[in-house]
Amino acid sequence: MYLLILVLPFIGALITGFGGRWLGYYGASIFATACVSISMIFSLLAFYEIGLSGTVCYISLSSWISSGTLDVSWSFLFDSLTVVMLVIVTAVSSLVHFYSISYMQDDPHFPRFMSYLEIFTFFMLILVTSDNLIQMFVGWEGVGLASYLLINFWFSRLAANQSAIKALVVNRIGDFGLSLGIFLTFYIFQSVDYLTIFSLTPLLSSHYLQFAGFEVHSLTLVGIFLFIGAVGKSAQLGLHTWLPDAMEGPTPVSALIHAATMVTAGVFLIIRFSPLIEFSSVVLTVLIVVGSSTAFFAAMTGVFQNDLKRVIAYSTCSQLGYMIFACGLSCYNTSIFHLSNHAFFKALLFLSAGSVIHAVSDEQDMRRMGALVKFLPTTYSLMLIGSLALAGFPFLTGFYSKDFLIELSQVSVNPNLDNTSGAFACWLGSLSVFFTAFYSFRLIYLTFLNNTNLNKSVLHKVHESSNFILLPLIILSIGSIFIGYLTKDLFIGPGTDFWKSSIFILPNHSYFVEAEWLEAKIKWLPFMLSISGVLLASLINLTYFKFYLHTKFLRFWLFLINKKWYWDAIYNKTFVYPILKFGYFISFKNLDRGFIELSGPYGLSKLVSIWSKISVKLQTGQLTHYIFFMSIGLCFLFGIVLNSAHSFNLNLHLLSFYLVLIFFI
Amino acid sequence: MFEQLNSIHVSSLLFLISVLGILLNQKNILVMLMSLEMMFLAVSFNLTFLSLYLDDITGQIFSLLILTVAAAESSIGLAILVVYYRIRSVITVELMNLMKG
């Protein structure tokens, strides 16, 4: 059963991919959805068996690489962390499959789409179930590849191609860091198995390593490299540029990749490596700083974006920042709790956005929507649930994880803890709450409640989506309402033994009890901030109150944030184009076609012809010249013979001198 | 009777003069041929002296051989020169450039 969870999507992908023409639209949709749904049922069973009944399942299939001390096998570890991820991935994936049946109905490449979705699910499952780093890397690269294929699904579009390549390449930067981390792990631990690594970690907590001429704490180095991998995959600040661009793919793809699965892989990696990261305070600080900066940056950028999907993408980026800084605060179980909740309401938001886009003839700009509440009441209510959950409205899922996260960061503000980076996270996280609420409701207002800006011809055609689209949304909205409440005690309840040994928190890093003793006004703070965000969005959109941005200063800021703080432009100017130019001018034109060609075949052939022409010129046809050369030659010969009798060095010098002389005659 | 050093000096001086005669002469091929003859003369001169000095007949035999070879050579050379003159009707050295590489 455990292996069937993995095998079913794989078989589904193969059959739908290679036999798509034979299956046809109905065959592909039924087969693909059935495969993933059965996989979801099995993962729910696995969740019951492992998560609730408290067992751990370890399956070792076969040896893969065995060389010296390196022993990698195809084996699968199903513990609490894995089954939570399994349920999230398969549940969201099967709902997305179901949704795509109707959403991608008119697409001629439907079986290919389903096949890609399934291969994506398969690689994600490989990623979460593996018990060693190498096998995890298979899944890691696999989801990168699948994301390329999916973003690039409409391959005839230039923008889709570009953003798919961008996603792949930017991810690859992180993957490079991760692979360095894997090599380093093997160097330090002589093993890549999780269980070996984690049991050896406390032993090596004061192990130092020579790296680039410095004495480096080896666990810190491993943690940093793993975090670089997570930065790429989870779109943290620095390598986040691919995530908003990846919206070029079809909407179900965005929901699958950028809400629930792929971007969570980085967070999953960090949580999985909690036994290692706990022993390095540097890595924890880095996690906090980068995570909270990402949360704040993305939330602020999301405020001034006008593309419906891009707003949600930035919101994803922001929420991932929350998860990462939760890991930095050593609250791994809160992080995974937020991850699971976020998967539900973000998939809901993305899929509802897809429904809206579908309804208004593929218009994605929010400024050209409005007043859709009359036409799409169901989508409106679903999206409202999603937005409220995202904004952390009390008693919805977002509240249970996000507000608790903020509370935990409030604990670390306490000066006794001497955790200044925690205060940093607290401030940025709290501010992000405000922005999150603001852009969620700005989205709701601009799309549904304001006066319409749609064309009349488009407005005539606005219709509610089919039940195939609405059913997954309804299921997800139920999830968005109840999942947080239902799993709260399981995941982050005081003294819960759900995680067993899959998550490790050093006892002096645990603030769970302290979070219960915060002052009431601090506990109310996130809620107040999100309410004020909602109120501000309502104030701007409902009344005629306007922030007139006539001053140049404000306009500058507005423009800056709308252009995503010019990250892309700066990256292009400082890294991409210089490297591209280096590649073309230096390595291609100067080295490959220049220097190496000149010292290789091209230059040599040219040299021979030049020299032969020169030596031909020596024969002028004049008798006197020949006689001159004969006598000079005799003199040389005597000179060389006489000189070599004295010393050999002089001889060589003379020889070269004569050669040069002949060359320039 | 003969000082060995003197005789070697005389012959090598003669040889060098003839070499310079070939080398420095830019105009007349007849002078060059004459210098060539002088070169043979110098060599056979040297051989004769040395044969006398060492009291060995071989040198003189060689000297005689060289004389015959020189005579044959100069006759063939002059014959070639005559043929050349009949074709080009000029024997200036500077204009002999048919052997260009």
Query: Mind listing the pLDDT tens digit for each residue in B52-66?
Result: 888 889 999 999 999
* CB distance A372 to A356 below 8 Å: yes
Give yes or no for residue A393 having a pLDDT over 80: yes
Q: What is residue B3's predicted lDDT score, i.e. its pLDDT? A: 65
Smallest Cβ–Cβ distance between A619 and the set B19, B26, B101 belongs to: B101
B95/chain A closest Cα distance in angstroms: 8
Q: Mark yes or no for CB contact A628/B23 under 8 Å.
A: yes
Model confidence at A410: pLDDT above 60:
yes
Q: Which residues of B touch A611 (CB under 8 A)?
A: none
Q: Which residue from A minimizes the CA distance to B36?
A: A627
What band does A545 get if pLDDT is binned at 50, 70 and 90? low
Q: What is the distance between the alpha carbons of residues A192 and A183, in angstroms, rounded to a whole number?
A: 9
Indicate the pairing of strand A57-67 with strand A70-78: antiparallel
Residues paired with A208 in a beta bridge:
A217
CB of B83 within 8 Å of a chain A CB? The answer is no
Nearest-neighbour CA in chain B from A609: distance (Å): 15
Chain B residues closer than 8 Å to A665 by CB: none
Chain B residues with CB-CB distance to A627 below 8 A: 22-23
pLDDT at A547 (0 to 100): 63
A170-186 pLDDT, tens digit per residue, is 999 999 999 999 999 99
Q: How long is chain A?
A: 665
User: What is the distance between the alpha carbons of residues A168 and A124, in angstroms, rounded to a whole number?
Assistant: 16
A297 contacts: CB under 8 Å, gap ≥ 6: A237, A240, A318, A321, A565
Shortest CA gap A602–chain B (Å)? 26
pLDDT at B40: 92
**What is the mean predicted confidence (pLDDT) over A98-121?**
91
Dihedral of the alpha carbons of A515, A518, A523, A529, in degrees to the nearest 10: -100
Residue A88 has pLDDT above 60, yes or no: yes
Interface predicted TM-score (ipTM) of this complex, two decimals: 0.86
Query: Taking CA atoms, what residue in A is nearest to B27?
Result: A624
Cβ A447 vs Cβ A387: under 8 Å:
no
Interface contact flag, B99 A619, Cβ < 8 Å: yes
Alpha-carbon span A288 to A275, nearest angstrom:
17
A618, A621, A624: residue with CB nearest B98: A621
- Find chain B residues with C-beta within 8 A of A620's C-beta: 97, 100-101
CB A359 within 8 A of CB A452: no
d(CA A16, CA A101): 14
Q: Give the best residue of A613, A614, A626, A627 to mutate against chain B (max B CB count within 10 A).
A: A627
Most A CBs within 10 Å: which of B23, B36, B88, as the mutation test of the A interface? B23
Does the CB of B95 have a partner CB in chain A at under 8 Å?
no
Task: Give the pLDDT mean for A265-283.
Answer: 91
Q: Nearest 5°: CA angle at A354, between A348 and A359?
A: 125
Q: Of B23, B29, B100, which has the smallest distance from its Cβ to A621's Cβ?
A: B100
The pair of structure tokens assigned to A147 is 């994301």
Residue appearing with tokens 């020596």: A618
Q: Is the pLDDT of residue B75 over 90?
A: yes
Neighboring chain A residues of B29 at a CB cutoff of 8 Å: 623
pLDDT beyond 60 at A411: yes
| Rg (chain A; Cα; Å) | 32
CB contact under 8 A, A623 and B93: yes
By C-alpha distance, the chain A residue nearest B100 is A621
Q: Does A521 or B41 have the greater pLDDT score?
A: B41
pLDDT band at A474 (very low <50, low <70, confident <90, very high): very high
| Burial status of residue A397 (CB atoms within 10 A of its CB: 0-12, 13-18, 19 or more) | buried
Over residues B49-53, the mean pLDDT reads 87
Q: Which two tokens stand for residue A665?
A: 């005659």
Residues A23-47 as b/e (b if ≥16 CB within 10 A, e otherwise) read: bebebbbebbbebbbbbbbbbbebb
Which residues from A are below 8 Å from B when comparing CB atoms? Answer: 616-624, 626-628, 631
Judging contacts by C-beta atoms under 8 Å, the chain B residues touching residue A622 are 93-94, 96-97
Q: How many residues does chain B have?
A: 101
> Which distant-in-sequence residues (6+ apart) come within 8 Å of A577 by Cβ?
none
Angstrom distance (rounded) from CA A436 to CA A386: 12
B/e letters for A550-579, b = 16+ CB within 10 Å, e = fewer, are eeeeeeeeeeebeebeebeeeeeeeeeeee
A to B CB pairs, distance under 8 Å? 35
Q: Give the gap in angstroms from C-alpha B60 to the nearest C-alpha of chain A.
A: 27
Instruction: Enumerate the residues of chain B whose CB falls inside 8 A of the CB of residue A623.
Output: 29, 32, 93, 96, 99
| Alpha-helical segments (H) within A370-419 | 377-391, 397-398, 404-413
- How much is the pLDDT for A540? 84
Q: Tell me the per-residue pLDDT of A113-170, one tens digit each, with 9 for 90 and over.
A: 999 999 999 999 999 999 999 999 999 999 999 999 999 999 999 999 999 999 999 9
Please determine, for residue A651, whether its predicted confidence score (pLDDT) is greater than 80: no
CB contact under 8 A, B101 and A631: no
Task: Give the integer Cα–Cα distance in Å for A329 and A258.
Answer: 24
pLDDT for res A650: 59
pLDDT tier at A455, thresholds 50, 70, 90:
confident
Closest B-chain CA to A629: B23
Q: Which residues from chain A sit within 8 angstroms of residue B81, using beta carbons?
A: none
B23 with A620: Cβ contact below 8 A: no
pLDDT of B2 > 70? The answer is no
Nearest residue in A to B98, CA atom: A621
CA A114/CA A601 separation, integer angstroms: 51
Q: What crossing angle do the helices spanning A20-46 and A2-18 adopt, rounded to 10°?
A: 170
pLDDT for A649: 57
DSSP assignment string, A61-118: EEEEEEETTEEEEEEEEE-HHHHHHHHHHHHHHHHHHHHHHHHTTT-TTHHHHHHHHH
Cα A431 from chain centroid (whole Å): 24
Beta-carbon separation of A628 and B101 below 8 A: no
B80 part of contact set with chain A, CB < 8 Å: no
Confidence of residue A91 (pLDDT cuts 50, 70, 90): very high
Contact call for B94 and A617, based on CB within 8 A: no
Which of A216-225, A256-265, A589-598 is modeled with the greatest confidence? A216-225
Put simply, the chain B residues between 2 and 41 with a CB less than 8 A from any chain A CB are: 19, 22-23, 25-26, 29, 32
| Dist. CA B101–CA A356, nearest whole Å | 86
Query: If you measure CA to CA, which chain A residue comes closest to B93?
Result: A623
Q: How far is B1 from chain A (nearest CA, A)?
A: 33
> Does position A228 have pLDDT exceeding 90, yes or no?
yes
pLDDT, residue A158, reads 92
B26 interaction partners in chain A (CB closer than 8 Å)? 624
- Amino acid letter at A449? L
Using CA atoms, how far residue A298 sits from A391, A431, A455, in Å, is: 14, 12, 31
Please list every residue in chain B whose beta carbon sits closer than 8 Å to the beta carbon of residue A632: none
- Those residues whose C-beta lies under 8 Å from the C-beta of residue A331, and which sit 6 or more positions away, are A405, A408, A505, A511, A512
- What single string gives the DSSP state of each residue in A279-328? T-HHHHHHHHHHHHHHHHHHHHHHHT--BHHHHHHHHHHHHHHHHHHHHH
